[in-house]
Structure 1
Amino acid sequence: MVETVLFENERVLDRSAVADYLRSLADSLEEGSDVTLSAGEQSVTLAPPSQLEFEVKAEREGPAEGNGELSIEVELEWPEHATDDELSIE
């Protein structure tokens, strides 16, 4: 399997700014809207379907003894050509 990064951005933000970004993503998902990620010259728009695979994970990276780095990772996945076609019987 080949992984192609469509968009990547990493920066240090305060908790309030992170919450604002997550809230904006949550609003787009709830409304059924496309999700556009942009920073500088990078931009990608994705159209998540109504059913998504949702994964949340807490990790610690670093030496077994001593200080490491903690993270919370949130991932949404769906098949690339997923559709929201509804069943109809005529």
Structure 2
Amino acid sequence: MPEEVLFKSESAQERAQIASLLRRVADNLEDGEPITLKSGSESLTLEPPARPTFEVKAEREGPADAPGELSVEFELEWDETDGEDGDSGPLEIE
């Protein structure tokens, strides 16, 4: 199935600024509130279900024998029709 990008924002920010944005997402999830993403004139509001799938992925991009770019991705996924996805087991973050 082809992917359609509904919203994208990418910018260098201080770690404290990133933590504040993630905290806002966490607060909205905990309170059952929608999540509204805004950047410039773009805006998108999403309403995650009570049990979305939470995916965490750490990656290194670049040649295997040289330093590359590291990333960590946090992703919430859900099916638009029934609102819930699968489960691969518990996650811990320390």
TM-score by length of 1: 0.88
Counterpart mapping for 1:3-82 below 5 A: 3-82=3-82
Counterpart CA distance in 2 for 1:58 and 1:43 is 27
Larger CA Rg, structure 1 vs 2:
1
Counterpart CA distance in 2 for 1:58 and 1:79 is 23
3-state SS of paired residue (1:28): helix
Counterpart CA distance in 1 for 2:49 and 2:56 is 19
1:74, distance to aligned residue in structure 2 (A): 0.6
Write out the 4+ residue segments of structure 1 that deviate beyond 4 Å after TM superposition.
none
C-alpha RMSD over aligned residues? 1.4
Counterpart CA distance in 1 for 2:35 and 2:81 is 16
Counterpart CA distance in 1 for 2:50 and 2:42 is 26
1:80, distance to aligned residue in structure 2 (A): 1.1
3-state SS of paired residue (1:5): coil
TM-score by length of 2: 0.84
1:81, distance to aligned residue in structure 2 (A): 3.1
- Superposed CA offset, 1:27-85 (max 9, x none): 000000000001001110001010110110111001112220000011100011335xx
3-state SS of paired residue (1:13): coil
